[in-house]
Amino acid sequence: MKTYRDHYFLKAKQENYPARSIYKLKEIDNRFKLFRQGMKVLDLGAAPGSWSLGAAERVGAKGRVLACDLQTTDTQFPPNVTFMQEDVFNRSEAFEDALAAMGPFHVVISDMAPRTTGTRFTDQARSLELCIEALAVADHCLIKGGSFVVKIFMGPDVKQLLDALRARFETVKTFKPKSSRVESKETFYVCLGYRGDGQQD
């Protein structure tokens, strides 16, 4: 495990973030300027909570973050973050109520990843499935002109997702943060300027 105790792992411990993934979000925001004070953010696959904390810092006390994950977390969140243990693809009535009360959202972020099997093509296919589901959630609750960030394990079938993203957003960029581990297959699609065509509300 020592190989994983890298610069970002140690930095996260020093700065009281639950995971090194916070620096991926910071890099994305520094590059693409996703967040502003007062924004509302939906964080999918939020546990253990680093992205929710990072988003909460950027949107400030007047902003709101709704975070959800299948797993729970013992991370202490500030008052502008609401964390719910939830299957966002099989949403409970309570979570639908929270989406309606807080939405629509300016930014939807997803750092979701499948449980890896060690079989590359299986992991890539499951990652793609999660991305497509996350996009469906964004269609449900993202404000026109809003932004969407989603993690993908790159594979041969990403064109399906890219086509769907380009149909919905003015700008779609691929971004690999420096804080991603070198051996990681993850990449992020950063999508700006939601056209609103898929919104169900």
Catalytic residue among 151, 159, 173, 176: 151
Instruction: Look at phi and psi of residue 60 and say left if phi exceeds 0, alpha if psi is from -120 to 50, else beta.
Output: left
Q: Do residues 80 and 61 make contact, with C-beta atoms less than 8 angstroms apart?
A: yes
What gap in Å lies between CA 29 and CA 61, rounded to an integer?
18
Token digits of residue 99: 């989406």
Q: Is 151 an active-site residue?
A: yes
DSSP H stretches of helix in the chain: 7-14, 22-32, 50-59, 93-102, 120-141, 158-168
CB proximity list for 176: less than 8 A, separation 6 or greater: 186, 187, 188
Q: Do residues 71 and 83 make contact, with C-beta atoms less than 8 angstroms apart?
A: no
What gap in Å lies between CA 22 and CA 8, rounded to an integer?
9
The most distant pair of C-alpha atoms in the chain lies apart, rounded to whole Å, by 48
Residues annotated catalytic, as ranges: 151
